[in-house]
Amino acid sequence: MKVVSKPGGGGSARSSRAAALARKELHSYLNAPAFYGAAVFFLLFCSIWLFYFQRYFAMDAATLRPYFAAFPLAFILVIPVITMKSWAEERKTGSVELLLTMPFSEWDLVLGKFFAALAVLAMMLALTVPLPLSLRALGDFDGGVILCEYAGALLLGASAVSLGLLLSSLSKNQAGSFLGSAAALMAVMLINQLTFSFNLPQWLTGGINFISLAFHFESFSKGLIDSRDLAFFILSTVLFLYLNTRVILMRRWG
């Protein structure tokens, strides 16, 4: 009897299909000028934020919290650049129709694009490592705290990337995807600032902080791994990816 593997098969088959798609997407990213432009902007923005706006050398403190505090702000523009063409460009060129006829499940397609975009973001984060290393001679930095800050930045980025991919799947072109993602990320990154500007009821403050990505990043920036913030990033990432699969499913059978 011949056994035929279906698109929605076992976990190992799904992982291999998603990995193959991720490699294809990653190759596309590395051949796009937008990736290099976003990487340069990310490095310059975070460095200028640390040395010019935060006046790091006048702080007289061995901490990189001001540096990592710039990451959520930079992500507002960097992540839309990474995700804007993932689905929107496929839809504009019509290649999404061909992609949906291939023997891939919705999760294969979404995870492939997600892991490729997350790998690109991880590369950008890796490019920032020389700065902490170069500052080690100036003070006694806590390596554990810095590692925790990088872990939080990657988790924050994963949630933001999944949201960007969802909005890209809902957009007709790259411009719409970029603007929609930037606006949405600005809202979820900065909404917790309302709690500092206005005297809001406690229940409303708690609700606003709960949906703020930047708020959940704060504990990581202090070198603390709060299980609630960890769970939030994981669950929000899974939720946005799940919604993305529903959008793709409607396109496939719509």
pLDDT tens readout for residues 173-206 = 899 999 999 999 999 999 998 888 888 899 999 9
Residue 12 confidence (pLDDT):
64
Token pair belonging to 68: 């990592």
Q: How many CB atoms lie within 10 A of CB 111?
A: 22
Using the predicted structure, report yes or no on whether residue 157 has a pLDDT greater than 80.
yes
With 0-12 / 13-18 / 19 or more C-beta atoms within 10 angstroms meaning exposed / middle / buried, residue 88 is buried
Where are the domains positioned within the chain?
11-253
pLDDT tens readout for residues 114-143 = 999 999 999 999 999 999 999 988 888 889
Alpha-carbon separation of residue 91 from 22, 169, 198, 218 (angstroms): 18, 8, 42, 37
Residue 4 confidence (pLDDT):
37
pLDDT tens readout for residues 216-244 = 999 999 889 999 999 999 999 999 999 99
Residue 10 confidence (pLDDT):
56
Higher pLDDT, 234 or 12: 234
Euclidean distance between CA atoms 188 and 230, whole angstroms: 17
CB 105 within 8 A of CB 12: no
pTM of the predicted model as reported, rounded to 2 decimal places = 0.91
CB hemisphere CA count around 209 (13 angstroms): 16
Euclidean distance between CA atoms 78 and 135, whole angstroms: 25
Residues 6+ apart with CB under 8 A from 92: 172, 173, 174
CB hemisphere CA count around 176 (13 angstroms): 13
CB 50 within 8 A of CB 128: no
**What's the rounded mean pLDDT across residues 167-171?**
93
Residue 102 confidence (pLDDT):
81
Using the predicted structure, report yes or no on whether residue 46 has a pLDDT greater than 50.
yes
Higher pLDDT, 13 or 185: 185
Compute the 3-state secondary structure of the chain and give helix, strand, coil in percent, each to the nearest 5: 80, 0, 20
In terms of residues, how long is the chain?
A: 254
Place of tokens 């997350």: 118
Residue 155 confidence (pLDDT):
98
Q: How many CB atoms lie within 10 A of CB 225?
A: 13
Alpha-carbon separation of residue 133 from 62, 71, 220 (angstroms): 12, 18, 19
Euclidean distance between CA atoms 237 and 254, whole angstroms: 25
Residue 61 confidence (pLDDT):
83
